[in-house]
Amino acid sequence: MDAKTIRNTFLNFFKEKQHEIVPSAPMVVKNDPTLMFTNAGMNQFKDYFLGNKIAENTRVTDTQKCLRVSGKHNDLEEVGIDTYHHTMFEMLGNWSFGDYFKKEAIAWAWELLTERYNLPKDRMYVTVFEGDKDDNLEVDAEAAEYWKEFIEEDRILLASKKDNFWEMGDQGPCGPCSEIHIDLRSDEDIAKIPGKELVNADHPLVVEIWNLVFIQFNRKADGSLVSLPAKHVDTGMGFERLAMAIQGKQSNYDTDVFQPLIQHLAKKAGVTYGNDEKLDIAIRVIADHIRAITFAIADGQLPSNNKAGYVIRRILRRAVRYGYTFLQFDAPFMYELVDILAGQFNEVFPEVEAQKDLIQKVVKQEEVAFLRTLEKGLKILNDLMDTHKSEKVIPGREAFALYDTYGFPFDLTSLIARENDFGVDEKGFNEAMQEQKNRSREDAASERGDWMVVHEDDAVEFVGYDATNCHARILRYREVTEKKKTIYQLVLDQTPFYAEGGGQVGDKGTLTSGEEKIAIFDTKKENDLIIHFANKLPSNLEQEVYCEVDTARRKLTENNHSATHLMHAALQEVLGEHVAQKGSLVNDQLLRFDFSHFQKVTDEEIAQIEKLVNEKIRENIQLNEQRSIPIEEAKAMGATALFGEKYGDFVRVIAFDKDYSIELCGGTHVDATGQIGLFKITSESSVAAGVRRIEAVTAEAAEAYINEQLALLNEVRELLKNPKDLTKSLTDLTEEKATLTKEVEALRNKELQAMKAAIVQEAVQKEQYNFIAKKVSLPNAQALKQLAYDIKAVVDNVFLVLAADINGKPQVAVMIDEEVVKTASLHAGQLVKELAKEIKGGGGGQPFFATAGGKDINGLDAVIEKANGLA
């Protein structure tokens, strides 16, 4: 069975059991402060488990893109070293939301594995939760009972909380689980050690393939467990491990999921995979990491310097380093693998093929940038290991310097160190990091309390598309402390407040409770809850509140949001269909839009885009909003959907003239485009390889922007005495200036020559030298120096003192022929100091030439007098 068939067999099996096949959620998580990347199939269904939302389908199945590189689930260190943990992997799952429970979940899992995939029963083991004293939980006898129907009792093993109690994070839904493990060893090996002894013992050939989780609790912030109102099933099976078992391989990397990547890499490096463990690890790491990077970019997460973007950058650098050190890849190579992935996943995850060009560009540029510094960084690291070879530890501060200057993530430094039997002082590294940014300390100091329920009611309605005010009841609230500041978050049963999303900022406004007015300073989403941010709580939480959105701010924001849609369509028309949104910010001041495009947008294109958008504004096109239409229908209408965005079965479609702009969008918009008034692009720039950014303003802000520009122009016009043709006048002026500058220079030069000639004439022959002391007037210090050298060039054995007025500032220069310095033992540096006293200044220099500046321009005559006295 090839990989595609294995995946489809799973989905179709559960479809037969009345499950709906749903798409994977994006791998990059938005709207959840507790999670950066999807790390399990259940993430996207969290709200159903918590009871925040009612599932439309109580049985669903899917294959979920997961990434386990941060937070509670982090497998990064194992990846490539072992053969069955990946950074990015697919998790096949079936779900019951308050529908079936342990009995069916167990029976179906067994049926699928043994009857459809024909996996051998005598190679499988199952585990059930043994109970836990601290949590006051009994052994899961129920699950064990069901298993006994299918499998011999001695293949049912008890397992501890660590392995068989699944929790998504520190807080949230959780429950006991029952896992299925498979023994892939040879008969001889099995004869030596029975498989049951190797279950949950990190043996690469006795691995867990499927985890059936029975969600029945919610873990609260204080660590206690509460029973959930309804029981759910959440299962997760590693697709790549399943493929290994079915295809009779001993490593995930030997399946057709990875072989195309592996063979490409081996060929490129001129090696054979499977001959040398060190090289094999490098090849596996690269084959694994490129998947994580590709899918992250496809979901809209570009590599960057912070948060999720930095995690992706680190993974990429890790892979590049393995290639560089072990496979001698010193030019970009990762980007070539994107093509293979696009083909492999065309059917399930078409987002890769659709954005192939962009992904390749971004990956390649990252590679180029990192390879440039890698070489230097590695050399420094080698030197460090040389310096610290006795203690075998790289100091934390040095590791931090590598990170700071050469972009070496800490885990990369420790990885290389480990390969050389070195440690790295992590504490020191962290201290250095801490010092550099106190910011991270503040970020860490965030504490969120449990939700306090005021009214038991789960229906939360957003009325903000139609109204900007309404009455509401407070359903729940909690206290959150961030950066030492305590704020309150409130959930209402209905609200006109738009929660930040789709680039649009959250609404501000007020809640009125009796006589009290409470400011709402932001509104955000957490999963599907709309959360209102306030600095205090109403004193009576039971009382109904009156919600009012700051409508002036909302209106300006809507102008910018609708203008973003008009511009998006204009970009596609002017630049081409390849333009895809990569980021968006819409607030009451401006709109910012990032999109894929491979070169600078020219001035002409900008003008065309502005023209098109302003035309659409003047047409005063009515908003066509369809609130709840099936996603397939919306797509058929040609609505633009964003990559990496999570859409439900029913979507909202926003159109301004169906043939011009039609997008899936949850934001708020103008009733008709005329309200936008005016659209003006204020800047165009680059944010990353293949990604451009445009900022623009609308309505009053656009008017203000244009007026500012016009005022500037007027000022210039006035300065030029209101010429008829401003451009010509300015060109003439600059040309004239250039000519004049040249003339002035020529004249000055002439003057200098004449001055020089006159001064030379004044040389007085003394016994040991030809003496000159002269007061001069010069444009700058450079001219003084030049004059001194010029005179020296034509007067033999010169002893020259020049007292100069340089634009009103006094300076003295002394020049003495090198021969004279010796024979008359004179020292220009000492002389100039003495002379400078007359101009209240000081200076110095070499024996043959020295200068000094001063404060008293009236002292120049005295300088000459003194010089004459010295001669």
Give whichever of 208 and 663 is closer to ligand ATP, judged by the CB atom. Answer: 208
Give whichever of 68 and 508 is closer to ligand ATP, judged by the CB atom. Answer: 68
Q: How far is the CB of 418 from ligand ATP (least distance, A)?
A: 20
**Closest listed residue to residue 250, CA positions, set 206, 198, 311:** 206
Give whichever of 65 and 692 is closer to ligand ATP, judged by the CB atom. Answer: 65
Q: Does 183 bind ligand ATP (CB under 6 A)?
A: no
- From CA 69, how far away is CA 468, in angstroms rounded? 42
- Per the CB < 8 A criterion, the answer to whether 526 and 32 are in contact is yes
Residue with tokens 């295809």: 247
Q: How far is the CB of 230 from ligand ATP (least distance, A)?
A: 22
665 is in an annotated binding site: yes
Residue number, nearest CB to ligand ATP: 238
- Per DSSP bridges, beta strands 69-70 and 469-472 are unpaired
Give whichever of 242 and 864 is closer to ligand ATP, judged by the CB atom. Answer: 242
Q: How far is the CB of 210 from ligand ATP (least distance, A)?
A: 5
- From CA 531, how far away is CA 491, in angstroms rounded? 5
Q: How far is the CB of 358 from ligand ATP (least distance, A)?
A: 26
- Per DSSP bridges, beta strands 764-765 and 509-513 are unpaired
669 is in an annotated binding site: yes
Phi, psi of 589 (to 5 degrees): -95, -45
- From CA 451, how far away is CA 576, in angstroms rounded? 48
- From CA 297, how far away is CA 357, in angstroms rounded? 11
Q: Does 208 bind ligand ATP (CB under 6 A)?
A: yes
- From CA 655, how far away is CA 715, in angstroms rounded? 43
- For residues 578-592, one letter each, b for 16 or more C-beta atoms within 10 angstroms of the residue's C-beta and e for the rest, the string is bbbbbbbbbbbbbbb
Give whichever of 241 and 532 is closer to ligand ATP, judged by the CB atom. Answer: 241
177 is in an annotated binding site: no
- From CA 239, how far away is CA 109, in angstroms rounded? 14
Three-state SS for 370-405 is HHHHHHHHHHHHHHHHHHCCCCCEECHHHHHHHHHH
Give whichever of 85 and 582 is closer to ligand ATP, judged by the CB atom. Answer: 85
Token pair in block for residue 759: 């001064």
Q: How far is the CB of 178 from ligand ATP (least distance, A)?
A: 11
Q: Which helix (H) or strand (E) holds 180?
A: strand 172-183
Q: How far is the CB of 453 from ligand ATP (least distance, A)?
A: 30
In single-letter form, the type of residue at position 467 comes to A
Q: Which stretch binds ligand ATP (CB under 6 A): 105-113, 206-214, 533-541, 564-572?
A: 206-214
Q: Does 181 bind ligand ATP (CB under 6 A)?
A: no
- Other C-beta atoms within 10 Å of 469: how many? 16
Site string for ligand ATP, 446-465 (x = CB under 6 A): --------------------
Q: How far is the CB of 242 from ligand ATP (least distance, A)?
A: 7
Q: How far is the CB of 586 from ligand ATP (least distance, A)?
A: 37
- From CA 375, how far away is CA 377, in angstroms rounded? 5
In single-letter form, the type of residue at position 358 comes to L
- Per the CB < 8 A criterion, the answer to whether 11 and 61 are in contact is yes
Give whichever of 207 and 530 is closer to ligand ATP, judged by the CB atom. Answer: 207
Q: Does 127 bind ligand ATP (CB under 6 A)?
A: no
467: left (phi over 0), alpha (psi -120 to 50) or beta: beta
Q: Does 86 bind ligand ATP (CB under 6 A)?
A: yes
- From CA 280, how far away is CA 82, in angstroms rounded? 11
Give me the DSSP letters along 503-564.
Answer: TBPPP-EEEEETTEEEEEEEEEEETTEEEEEESS--S-TTS-EEEEE-HHHHHHHHHHHHHH
**Closest listed residue to residue 334, CA positions, set 305, 373, 307, 297:** 297
Q: How far is the CB of 294 from ligand ATP (least distance, A)?
A: 16
Q: Does 89 bind ligand ATP (CB under 6 A)?
A: yes
Q: How far is the CB of 650 from ligand ATP (least distance, A)?
A: 30
Q: How far is the CB of 89 from ligand ATP (least distance, A)?
A: 4
Three-state SS for 53-100 is CCCCCCEEEEEEEEECEECCEECCCCECCECCCCCEEEEEEEEEECCC
Q: CA angle, 643 as apex, 639 and 645 as ends, to 5°?
A: 90
Give whichever of 240 and 353 is closer to ligand ATP, judged by the CB atom. Answer: 240
Strand ranges, E, within 676-734:
679-688, 691-698
- Please return the burial class of 104, using the count of CB atoms within 10 Å of its CB with bins 0-12, 13-18 and 19+: middle
Q: Does 284 bind ligand ATP (CB under 6 A)?
A: no
Torsion angle, alpha carbons of 802, 806, 808, 810, to 10? -40
Give whichever of 204 and 674 is closer to ligand ATP, judged by the CB atom. Answer: 204
Site string for ligand ATP, 849-868 (x = CB under 6 A): --------------------
Q: Which stretch binds ligand ATP (CB under 6 A): 20-28, 55-63, 205-213, 301-309?
A: 205-213
827 is in an annotated binding site: no
Q: Out of 91, 244, 262, 803, point to the residue binding ligand ATP (CB under 6 A).
A: 91
Q: How far is the CB of 151 from ligand ATP (least distance, A)?
A: 17
Give whichever of 99 and 208 is closer to ligand ATP, judged by the CB atom. Answer: 208
Q: How far is the CB of 380 from ligand ATP (least distance, A)?
A: 32
Give whichever of 199 and 662 is closer to ligand ATP, judged by the CB atom. Answer: 199
Q: How far is the CB of 141 from ligand ATP (least distance, A)?
A: 21
Site string for ligand ATP, 7-46 (x = CB under 6 A): ---------------------------------x------
Site string for ligand ATP, 230-249 (x = CB under 6 A): ------xxx-xx--------
Q: How far is the CB of 252 from ligand ATP (least distance, A)?
A: 7
Q: Which stretch binds ligand ATP (CB under 6 A): 204-212, 484-492, 524-532, 687-695?
A: 204-212
**Closest listed residue to residue 44, CA positions, set 533, 527, 625, 700:** 527
**Closest listed residue to residue 585, CA positions, set 563, 606, 605, 570:** 563
Q: Which stretch binds ligand ATP (CB under 6 A): 202-210, 482-490, 708-716, 780-788?
A: 202-210
Give whichever of 156 and 571 is closer to ligand ATP, judged by the CB atom. Answer: 156
The footprint of ligand ATP on residues 46-85 (CB under 6 A) is 68, 75, 85
CA distances (Å), origin 142, targets 103, 146, 154, 177: 9, 7, 17, 11
- Cα atoms in the Cβ-side hemisphere of radius 13 Å centred on 640: 22
Number of residues lying near ligand ATP (CB under 6 A):
16
- Per the CB < 8 A criterion, the answer to whether 151 and 121 are in contact is yes
Q: Does 113 bind ligand ATP (CB under 6 A)?
A: no
Q: Out of 124, 209, 297, 417, point to the residue binding ligand ATP (CB under 6 A).
A: 209
Give whichever of 89 and 849 is closer to ligand ATP, judged by the CB atom. Answer: 89
- From CA 155, how far away is CA 139, in angstroms rounded? 17
Q: Does 210 bind ligand ATP (CB under 6 A)?
A: yes
Give whichever of 42 and 316 is closer to ligand ATP, judged by the CB atom. Answer: 42
Give whichever of 211 and 294 is closer to ligand ATP, judged by the CB atom. Answer: 211
Residues flagged as binding site:
561, 565, 665, 669
Q: Which residues bind ligand ATP (CB under 6 A)?
A: 40, 68, 75, 85-86, 89, 91, 208-211, 236-238, 240-241
Residues flagged as binding site for Zn(2+):
561, 565, 665, 669
